[in-house]
Chain A
């Protein structure tokens, strides 16, 4: 249920990103909301459900962006695995590090993405621009704060509801009989 809800959210975010954001002025940027959702899922979801969600988000990105199918899928799974591993095995899991890690991971992903295309499809991407990548990273960092608050709220809401329904199911029998 939680994974499905977040997948639905991913759908909405990608629709917003590909339509509404293009009405904004260029300097305001178009933060990659799906990437923020991906990092969030790495923090909060379990391995299996998180990987399923990441896979589907990558699939969505492949459909809406770029020409070479499978690139986003691969990238998204890689990012999820690395962030999940880091959040489980280091102090990164602390809330203080979560937002900066979104920025760092986004920046690294852009570098890897560009490197990957430079090696496999030379000339497929426009020239590398430090200013543009840094600007997009900063915009993403700013956008990730409200996004994380909202995702967290939704996650808590969904998980508590699920727990409550489970308790109700368990507690159906009369224990005092």
Chain B
């Protein structure tokens, strides 16, 4: 009996703190509800809660956002790589196309100029394409795709819209070799277009031409245009040869030393015209030569 009463006392003692705790919780809850019900403003606890939760939320948001961004970036990068590759290929294709168009455009312009030249000129011009250039740096010759079958004879003159190119020196059935006008062995009777001063235009290889035998009192200035004099009958008069680039007047000697820049760009020559009208003239000259007379 005593034991039972003792157990009851113990139980009632342990219930007291529990009840107190429950009371505290209940009163706290009531306080929160009451403070919430009083208005829409945050109370101290709300603020405190938010202050604690805020940074955590912020951290998590940042983290999640950066994760999403990272994922997006990775996927975008993945896609970008593919896109980049395809764009690069596309760009390459367009570059190649652009090159083709540029080439076609410049070729078209060049051919237009040449066609205009052919229409303007009275001589029967045979167009020839340059197929090879001299491998040695001592000589200035070209090989073009026209020969005896096209009516080309040694001695014929080659020209283009810019001026004199050279003269045919060796011929085969379908090809011929042209000695360029800037070859040192070439000499053309020339005059200064403005002052009509005469001289001999000698080839100087890659340096262009040198106008020789012009007296010191001759009126020649830089920029003057040099044209063919038309003496000898090989070149008709008035064909452009080049422009005076430098005039040297040395103390000794009677003549000026005149450097002439060729009108024709020999390094970039792609095609030219051979003057077929001179065939008869060349054949006649050949038949009048002493060697043929002896025969």
Interface residues in chain A, defined as those with a beta carbon under 8 Å from any beta carbon in chain B: 14-15, 17-19, 21-22, 30, 32, 34, 61, 64-67, 69, 113-114, 117, 121, 123-127, 132, 136
Say whether B275 faces chain A, with CB atoms less than 8 Å apart.
Answer: no
Interface residues on B, range: 20 to 34
* Extra A-B contacts (9), CB below 8 Å, given A22-B133, A67-B169, A123-B184: A18-B133, A30-B135, A65-B139, A65-B141, A67-B141, A124-B184, A124-B185, A126-B207, A136-B137
- B206: chain A residues at CB < 8 Å are 126
Contact between A123 and B132 (Cβ–Cβ < 8 Å)?
Answer: no
16 pairs from A and B in contact (CB 8 Å cutoff): A18-B132, A18-B133, A18-B134, A19-B132, A30-B135, A30-B137, A32-B136, A61-B135, A65-B135, A65-B136, A65-B139, A67-B179, A114-B138, A123-B202, A125-B184, A126-B138
**How far, in whole Å, are A114 and B267 apart by their CA atoms in the complex?**
23
Q: CB within 8 Å of A: which of B108-141?
A: 131-139, 141
Closest to B268 in A: A22
**How far, in whole Å, are A173 and B197 apart by their CA atoms in the complex?**
87
Say whether B204 faces chain A, with CB atoms less than 8 Å apart.
Answer: yes
- A32: chain B residues at CB < 8 Å are 135-136
* Known contacts A18-B143, A126-B205, A126-B207: A64-B134 contact under CB 8 Å: yes
* Known contacts A32-B135, A64-B132, A65-B134: A126-B141 contact under CB 8 Å: no
How many contacts A-B (CB < 8 Å)? 65
Say whether B35 faces chain A, with CB atoms less than 8 Å apart.
Answer: no
- B169: chain A residues at CB < 8 Å are 67
**How far, in whole Å, are A14 and B184 apart by their CA atoms in the complex?**
24
Residue from the set B138, B170, B184, B185 with the largest chain A CB neighbour count within 10 Å:
B138
Closest to B184 in A: A126
**How far, in whole Å, are A117 and B183 apart by their CA atoms in the complex?**
14
**How far, in whole Å, are A69 and B133 apart by their CA atoms in the complex?**
17
Interface string of B200-212 (1 = CB under 8 A from A): 0010111100000
Contact between B141 and A66 (Cβ–Cβ < 8 Å)?
Answer: yes
Contact between B132 and A67 (Cβ–Cβ < 8 Å)?
Answer: no
- B179: chain A residues at CB < 8 Å are 67
- A69: chain B residues at CB < 8 Å are 170
Residue from the set A14, A22, A126 with the largest chain B CB neighbour count within 10 Å:
A126
**Measured between C-beta atoms, what is the minimum distance from A20 to chain B in Å?**
11
* Known contacts A64-B143, A67-B141, A67-B169: A18-B184 contact under CB 8 Å: no
**How far, in whole Å, are A151 and B207 apart by their CA atoms in the complex?**
36
> Of B135, B138, B205, which contacts A113 at CB under 8 A?
B138
- B170: chain A residues at CB < 8 Å are 67, 69
Contact between B185 and A17 (Cβ–Cβ < 8 Å)?
Answer: no
Contact between A18 and B135 (Cβ–Cβ < 8 Å)?
Answer: yes
> Of A18, A34, A125, which contacts B138 at CB under 8 A?
A125
**Measured between C-beta atoms, what is the minimum distance from B217 to chain A in Å?**
26
**How far, in whole Å, are A64 and B177 apart by their CA atoms in the complex?**
8
- A64: chain B residues at CB < 8 Å are 132, 134-135, 143
Contact between A132 and B185 (Cβ–Cβ < 8 Å)?
Answer: no
**How far, in whole Å, are A19 and B137 apart by their CA atoms in the complex?**
14
**How far, in whole Å, are A66 and B179 apart by their CA atoms in the complex?**
8
Pairs A-B, 5 closest by C-beta atoms: A126-B205, A18-B132, A66-B139, A17-B135, A124-B185
